[in-house]
């Protein structure tokens, strides 16, 4: 697995972000971690320091374009950036997303991702090539929900479809510039958010196992990592179904944000 000396992760205070921080923490590694909950972020940072890493904590709203540009631009060389911060309707709602939350979901999941990835790409373009042939790598945490329009989670599915499509479509040009772009599409991951769900979550996976899959895929230079594979395949099939039939098969929204 590739070794990264400087890593930046948004949404690092829980879930996949926290698991990735733990997996990457080691002596000689600098972690730039952001989140919205100061207490939880500090707990993650302290755990990473115990593993020998140097950690810089940042409370920041990923929707704030100027703040994100300043933070990322001031981080120095970055070997890996993970755009992980995201939200969903959550809490296992069975009546769909509240209309009032639509802009928050789209703004955080789309604008917040671009506010992470675009400054990171600009910074990495000026970095020398590493021994692996990359100036840097960027992973975008999307979701298997990107593959199917689930009736109960329109904004969540739309936001994840947008960032997955953008990442995959941008990957070839980025690679020409020496930057690795990877879209990560997990299924249900055990996080504080999914712990509140009150419906079956097939293929539920522990966050540390997901982190291992993600890091191996990034190191292999994959453009898209979708797991578990069988759930991704079913989602693809569902996405080809007529909306009326799909709506009858999936009456309950997932509400399971992998981040």
Pairing between strand 80-83 and 54-59?
unpaired
* Cα(216)–Cα(201) distance, integer angstroms: 24
Instruction: State the catalytic residue, choosing from 4, 134, 156, 188.
Output: 156
Q: Transcribe 136-193 into DSSP letters.
A: EEEEEE--GGGGS--TT-HHHHHHHHHHHHHHHHHHHHHHHTTEEEEEEEE--B-STT
* Cα(238)–Cα(229) distance, integer angstroms: 14
Name the residue among 47, 70, 87 with its Cα closest to residue 58: 70
- Cβ atoms of residues 28 and 5 within 8 Å: yes
Phi then psi for residue 22, to 5 deg, are: -60, -45
Q: Is 156 a catalytic residue?
A: yes
Phi then psi for residue 225, to 5 deg, are: -120, 115
* Cα(110)–Cα(107) distance, integer angstroms: 6
Contacts for 209 with CB less than 8 Å, ≥ 6 apart:
none
* Cα(66)–Cα(215) distance, integer angstroms: 29
Could you say which DSSP state residue 244 is in? H
> Which residues are tagged catalytic?
156
């Amino acid at each position: 697995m590739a070794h990264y000396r400087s890593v930046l992760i948004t949404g690092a205070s829980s879930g996949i972000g926290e698991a990735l921080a733990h997996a990457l923490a080691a002596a000689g590694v600098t972690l730039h971690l952001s989140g919205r909950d100061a207490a939880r972020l500090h707990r993650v940072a302290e755990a990473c320091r115990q593993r020998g890493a140097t950690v810089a904590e940042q409370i920041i709203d990923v929707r704030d374009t100027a703040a994100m540009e300043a933070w990322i631009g001031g981080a120095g060389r970055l070997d890996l950036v993970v755009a992980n911060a995201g939200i969903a309707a959550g809490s296992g709602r069975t009546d769909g997303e509240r209309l009032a939350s639509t802009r928050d979901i789209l703004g955080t999941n789309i604008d917040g991702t671009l506010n992470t990835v675009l400054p990171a790409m600009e910074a990495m373009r000026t970095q020398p090539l590493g021994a692996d042939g990359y100036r840097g790598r960027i992973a975008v945490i999307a979701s298997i929900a990107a593959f199917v329009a689930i009736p109960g989670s329109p904004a969540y599915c739309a936001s994840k479809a947008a960032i997955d499509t953008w990442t995959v479509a941008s990957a070839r040009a980025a690679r020409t510039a020496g930057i690795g772009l990877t879209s990560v599409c997990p299924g249900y991951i055990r996080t504080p958010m999914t712990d509140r769900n009150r419906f079956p979550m097939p293929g539920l996976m522990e966050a540390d196992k997901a982190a291992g899959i993600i890091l191996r895929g990034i190191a292999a230079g994959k453009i898209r990592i979708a797991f578990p594979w069988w759930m991704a395949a079913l989602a693809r099939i569902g996405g080809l179904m007529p909306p009326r039939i799909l709506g009858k098969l999936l009456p309950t929204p997932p509400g399971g944000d992998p981040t």
